Structure 1
Amino acid sequence: MSRSWKITAFAARPVVEAALVAHEDVIAWDPEMVLSGSEIAEDKPEDWRLEVWLPRKPDRVDKAAVAALFADGAPALTIEELPETDWVTQSQQGLEPIRAGRFHVHTPEHAPLAVAGVRDFVIPASRAFGTGQHATTAGCLAMLTHMKRQGVVVRNLADIGTGTGLLAFAALDLWPQALATASDIDDVCVGVVEENAGLNAVPMGAGSGELVMAVADGMAHPVLQVRGPYDLLIANILAGPLIELAPHFADALVPGGQLLLAGLLETQEQMVRAACRRAGLRLAARLVNGDWSILWLRKRTGVRARSSRPGQLPDWAKHW
């Protein structure tokens, strides 16, 4: 237990959402500064606040880092010292459970669902738990469930930019005999993934039904290369890296392999899809959760692909 501080900025919803997206692209962001964006009240859905928790009194550098997230000038920043508490727990408030597809994801402050046919995952807030990915995480969980019900078979999978490890855990739950690899550019995620794996009884290791963790920038890492090619790649990151990595994803997939992409705004979807088409990847299904697009693509098998509209998700997959 220790003293903690909070920086708050009030702005319109699109401004706060843009700041959250900008934060995901800051390489040198201090991992002790945890962000959250939320509406001020249910009856004011367009009035939002950005909150930043710190385990210390914010200095000039901290305030400048928060202000820099706002492209058109930062709103007024308020700074307050919080009562003596666990600052990580404080930052978790407002992280409501995710219910998507066959999964229920919650922080330790919420109870498991404990319903037959639904897999509960407990994921504590941590340096790798990004609130900006909450909607995209839900979309990926729903899409993975849909892929399984559509008959997709996965023997070898990788989750690129895994963060907490959650999507790799979910994929292993759906395809329990698969080889699984998770990677992230941030080495702090190694400990986070290992801790979360232990909390959720996900075995770490290199064998069937186990998860290997690697620190990697994109696909250029010996572990990712030697364990490929993959039946399924998952990447819930950002539109820019998705566009850049599209040909590398295609190279790492078996013919007919599956690619699940998220972290892109709906306004960025056409650019991402264009990059994927150039790499020989074709859309199988898509869904939109709020402002975020989730895309399921397939690698062409060498036979000329038929032109067809992407499949639509059933109603069960759309409940967030």
Structure 2
Amino acid sequence: MSDHRYYIVTDEAGAGRALDLLSDVFEDEGVPIATMEVDETMGVWEASVYATDDPDDGLKARVADCLARDFPDVPIEIEIFGQTDWIAKSLEGLKPVRAGRFLVHGSHDRDAVRINDLAIELEAGQAFGTGHHGTTAGCLEMIEKVMRAAPGGPRGVNPVLDLGTGSGVLAIAAAKLGPVRVLATDIDPVATRVARDNVRSNNCSAQIECVTATGFHSTAFSHKGPFGLIIANILARPLMRMAPDIKRNLGSGGSVILSGILASQRRQVLAAFNGQGMRHIRTLWRNGWVTIHLK
């Protein structure tokens, strides 16, 4: 099998529009979709659909159909990766990331940790969340703000839910801020395994439980909740669909931190949660993405 992606080359606005269109078609299937800036000076962006099987003309045709109306003259290109662990390879060159007091780093950058840092060490793995993306970095900053400002400090938001945990970085951040119990869930068992490994290597196993759970049907939510803080760094449309369930699992006076949201999608997400009786507290803006705090 050959990992590969189908992608188009466009500008920043086009990448955002392509992400919306591709999400409408592929998001519920769990197909990875991403945008990235290729050339800051020239304003060149790419929007991609990733696949792990051999190249498939049927998938390429679906991508083309999805984008045809808004990008009629833009070719669908393909890049084949082979079987290299590209997530691991890309992380080899990533520098430590600071977000508030947090420092997210690999084992090769332990010497970058300062005395007062809240260090989170992540190894390359097949799960989203390294701190380098605007959504993850924004969540780290917001988690620190919310937990430190809570009545009674960080323990005032106990217990915490990290929904769509990915690498486990946000669950680990919450655990490092104070004596809270954290339920970290993901629909992908590979992500759950990666998160569990990272939790263990950061000495947070006593505080964090990692569970594979699809939606809110798992009994883990009712057993561990209601939650004083729910963190969900996913994508805008799933967040809007889950607004009633998130509200239902939130404890009285609890906070919600949402990310994975393009700046252009902010009003829609706020409307969905306002409809559940939640009010906006603040928004952090990073690289075209937003992180939202609601109560």
What are the equivalent positions in structure 2 for 1:135-284 lying under 5 Å apart? 135-151=134-150, 152=153, 153-175=156-178, 177-203=179-205, 209-284=206-281
1: CA distance, partners of 2:109 / 2:269: 36
Secondary structure at 1:281's aligned position in 2? Answer: coil
TM-score (norm 1): 0.74
Q: For the Cα contact (< 8 Å) 1:179–1:211, is it kept in 2? A: yes
Report what 1:312 is aligned to: none
Q: For the Cα contact (< 8 Å) 1:113–1:120, is it kept in 2? A: no
Report what 1:121 is aligned to: 120
TM-score (norm 2): 0.80
2: CA distance, partners of 1:97 / 1:130: 13
What are the equivalent positions in structure 2 for 1:9-88 lying under 5 Å apart? 9-19=8-18, 22=22, 26-29=27-30, 37-44=35-42, 46-50=43-47, 58-61=55-58, 63-64=60-61, 67=64, 70=67, 72-73=70-71, 75-79=75-79, 86-88=85-87
1: CA distance, partners of 2:65 / 2:108: 32
Report what 1:291 is aligned to: 288
Q: CA deviation at 1:42?
A: 4.1
Q: CA deviation at 1:11?
A: 2.1
**Which is worse superposed, 91-100 or 223-232?**
91-100
Q: CA deviation at 1:129?
A: 1.7
Q: For the Cα contact (< 8 Å) 2:6–2:76, is it kept in 1? A: no
2: CA distance, partners of 1:141 / 1:11: 30
2: CA distance, partners of 1:53 / 1:97: 26
2: CA distance, partners of 1:180 / 1:166: 12
Structure 2 gap segments, 5+ residues each: none
Structure 1 gap segments, 5+ residues each: 204-208, 299-320
2: CA distance, partners of 1:13 / 1:224: 38
Which whole-Å deviations, capped at 9, do the CAs of 1:263-311 have from their partners, x for residues lacking one?
Answer: 222222222222222322222222111222211111xxxxxxxxxxxxx
Number of residue pairs aligned between Structure 1 and Structure 2 = 286
Q: CA deviation at 1:106?
A: 3.2
Q: CA deviation at 1:222?
A: 0.7
What are the equivalent positions in structure 2 for 1:308-319 lying under 5 Å apart? none
Q: CA deviation at 1:47?
A: 0.8
Secondary structure at 1:26's aligned position in 2? Answer: helix
Secondary structure at 2:282's aligned position in 1? Answer: strand
Q: For the Cα contact (< 8 Å) 1:36–1:132, is it kept in 2? A: no
Q: CA deviation at 1:132?
A: 11
Decide whether aligned partners of structure 1 residues 61 and 235 sit closer, same or farther in structure 2, where only a CA change above 3 A counts: same
2: CA distance, partners of 1:184 / 1:168: 12
Q: For the Cα contact (< 8 Å) 1:3–1:56, is it kept in 2? A: yes
Coordinate RMSD, CA, aligned: 3.4
Q: For the Cα contact (< 8 Å) 1:169–1:202, is it kept in 2? A: yes
1: CA distance, partners of 2:125 / 2:65: 23
Q: For the Cα contact (< 8 Å) 1:20–1:132, is it kept in 2? A: no
Q: CA deviation at 1:230?
A: 1.1
Amino acid at match of 1:43: T
1: CA distance, partners of 2:75 / 2:130: 20
Q: CA deviation at 1:30?
A: 5.9
Decide whether aligned partners of structure 1 residues 234 and 4 sit closer, same or farther in structure 2, where only a CA change above 3 A counts: closer
Q: CA deviation at 1:257?
A: 1.0
2: CA distance, partners of 1:264 / 1:14: 15
Secondary structure at 1:181's aligned position in 2? Answer: strand
Q: CA deviation at 1:186?
A: 2.0
Q: CA deviation at 1:143?
A: 0.7
2: CA distance, partners of 1:212 / 1:267: 34
Secondary structure at 1:249's aligned position in 2? Answer: helix
